[in-house]
Amino acid sequence: MRETADIETATDDYASRFSGPVGAWMLAVQERAARDLLGAPGGQTLLDVGGGHGQIAGPLARAGWRVTVHGSDTACARRIEPLITAGTVRFVVGDNLALPFPDRSFDCVVSVRLLAHCERWPALVAELCRVARRAVIVDYPTSESINRLAPALFGAKKRLEKNTRAFTLFTHRQVEETFSSSGFTPARRTGQFFLPMVLHRALRCRSCSAALEALARAAGLTRRWGSPVMLLARPSGPP
């Protein structure tokens, strides 16, 4: 079976989870984390796997990366159609677990909002590593955070957000060992939020959320218990 979790994340319904000032703030935090880990683009190529949501593709393309978005279905291109038409990004359809590219085709490979919804996520990690020359970045929710309460509170989260879906919680060791088995070494990781994102959505106050997260970051809480985590991994051997 093909892995098609990215179809839902490329819908308008999913995008509504990041609407309004609070949603824009959360996406800005995510973008800063990705750009910090990636560094300067220098005209390098980047593959965004499952990036039909457009949360990363557009900002990174504007920053100077040569971006290709991979989706499991043509429907995944709908929200980024303006970027495709303008030639800002390229879109390719294929199997997320059998990417239609030769080994080491891209300088960097990014996959955001996909790992936690991918049932065969180790196979996804292996594919991301296979086609990357220099680096792979993924994000994932971790049980080593307040998110460990997520399973017990999922019903309440569903009632509040309406369109949420089940997701996998990972330990850092799980993810790091999976990258290691694909010949990549975790280099850096950064937590995006200390407080659960559902709480920020419930607050509906961008300035309040930003202030709370700034305090948590200054106290070192986000570094230790932040989630979702954005992880940068690099090839273990010589380039």
In the beta sheet, which residues pair with residue 68? 47, 90
Query: Which residue shows structure tokens 């892995």?
Result: 3
Residue 130 has pLDDT above 80, yes or no: yes
Question: What does the alpha-carbon distance between residue 70 and residue 90 come to, in Å, rounded to a whole number?
Answer: 9
What is the pLDDT confidence band of residue 159, given thresholds at 50, 70 and 90? low
CB of 60 closer than 8 Å to CB of 43: no
Find the angle CA(106)-CA(55)-CA(158) to the nearest 5 degrees: 125
At 19-57, the pLDDT tens digits run 999 999 999 999 999 999 999 998 899 999 999 999 999
The percentage of the chain sitting over the pLDDT mark of 90, rounded to a whole number, equals: 82
Find the angle CA(180)-CA(147)-CA(135) to the nearest 5 degrees: 30
- The pLDDT, as a whole number, for residue 75 is 97
- The pLDDT, as a whole number, for residue 127 is 98
Higher-confidence position of 112 and 160: 112
Within 13 Å and on the Cβ side, how many CA atoms surround 235? Answer: 15
- The pLDDT, as a whole number, for residue 212 is 97
Closest CA to 136 of 166, 168, 104: 104
**Angle in degrees, 0-180, between the axes of helices 206-218 and 20-38, rounded to the nearest 10:** 40
Query: Which residue shows structure tokens 């309406």?
Result: 162
Residue 12 has pLDDT above 60, yes or no: yes
Region 70-91: mean pLDDT is 97
Cis peptide before 228 (omega within 30 of 0): yes
Query: Which residue shows structure tokens 């955001």?
Result: 112
- The pLDDT, as a whole number, for residue 43 is 87
Question: What does the alpha-carbon distance between residue 81 and residue 52 come to, in Å, rounded to a whole number?
Answer: 9
At 54, the amino acid letter reads G
Question: What does the alpha-carbon distance between residue 230 and residue 147 come to, in Å, rounded to a whole number?
Answer: 15
Q: Which domains does the chain have, with CATH numbers?
A: 5-231 (3.40.50.150)
What is the pLDDT confidence band of residue 202, given thresholds at 50, 70 and 90? confident
- The pLDDT, as a whole number, for residue 158 is 53
- The pLDDT, as a whole number, for residue 167 is 81
**What pTM value is reported for the model?**
0.91
- Structure tokens of 80? 């980024």
What is the pLDDT confidence band of residue 149, given thresholds at 50, 70 and 90? low
What is the pLDDT confidence band of residue 86, given thresholds at 50, 70 and 90? very high
Residue 160 has pLDDT above 90, yes or no: no
